[in-house]
Amino acid sequence: MISPKDTILISGDSWGCGEWGPGPSKYGAVHNGLEYFLTEYGCKVINVSVPASANVAAIKRLKNALNETTPDCIFWFQTSPIRDLRPYEENEELMPKNANEYNQIHKELLNSSYESLNNLGVKIHCMGGVSPLLDDINNYSNLISFIPSIIKMFGGKDPKYWIGGWVDSRVRLDPEFLTELEELSEPQDLLPKKWFYPDGIHPNRHAHYKIFEYILEQHK
């Protein structure tokens, strides 16, 4: 059960930072989301999420934070595992060139992340953000498949491929795969605006509040 005064540790990418939109001076996080609601509830929140972060980096920050604190509960926002291959041009031999390779590499990278998380030796509540959690996560004793897909939680549809910098890099893709990527719907067309406004690709403060309520409900 989560109660006021508990220490909560959060790690992930921009989804762990809160709602995104145009701010006073530049585009960025305009509301702290889950961190804000947990803090208002009375918890001490340590949020080591970093925008555009890869899973490997988010796990490293979790490990470093655990060296300095013993939280009562940990939440991890999963992002696209392809980010782990940055810089893409330098790792071209590891990059997916077609759909089959993408699916295989996607799964291998996520299982590598799950193993690293599991080896931290503490229970971690995992949430599927930019990419949904794999069913494989249930094979790891310390990992809790808490929200398999935040997008599906709010009635959206997970993109088949989350388009990112890897598509715009100079890595050569098979022509058929490139054509498939070019014909994909934009994420903004797949995610419900009610929960992903104003930028269309990050859960907003209302969605984060629902996640907060879900946390309290599951920890009664």
For tokens 């470093």, the residue is 64
Phi, psi of 151 (to 5 degrees): -60, -50
Tokens at 162, concatenated: 């989350």
For tokens 């605006």, the residue is 193
Domains and CATH numbers, the chain: 7-218 (3.40.50)
Using CA atoms, how far apart are residues 24 and 28, in angstroms rounded to an integer?
9
Largest Cα separation within the chain, whole Å, is: 55
pLDDT per residue, tens digit, the chain (220 aa), is 799 999 999 999 999 999 998 866 677 899 999 999 999 999 999 999 999 999 999 999 999 999 999 999 999 999 999 999 999 889 889 999 999 999 999 999 999 999 999 999 999 999 999 999 999 999 999 999 999 999 999 999 999 888 777 777 778 889 999 889 888 888 888 899 999 999 999 999 999 999 999 999 997 6
Q: Are strands 44-47 and 27-31 parallel, antiparallel or unpaired?
A: unpaired
- Give me the pLDDT at residue 3, please: 92
Angle, in degrees to the nearest 10, between helices 34-41 and 205-218: 50
pTM for the whole structure = 0.94
Burial of 183 (0-12, 13-18, 19+ CB in 10 A): exposed
- Give me the pLDDT at residue 189, please: 86
For tokens 């390779």, the residue is 101
Residue 105 contacts residue 96 (beta carbons within 8 Å): yes
For residue 5, the SS3 value is coil
Residue 61 contacts residue 24 (beta carbons within 8 Å): no
Burial of 111 (0-12, 13-18, 19+ CB in 10 A): middle
DSSP annotation of 192:
-
- Give me the pLDDT at residue 220, please: 65
Using CA atoms, how far apart are residues 49 and 20, in angstroms rounded to an integer?
14
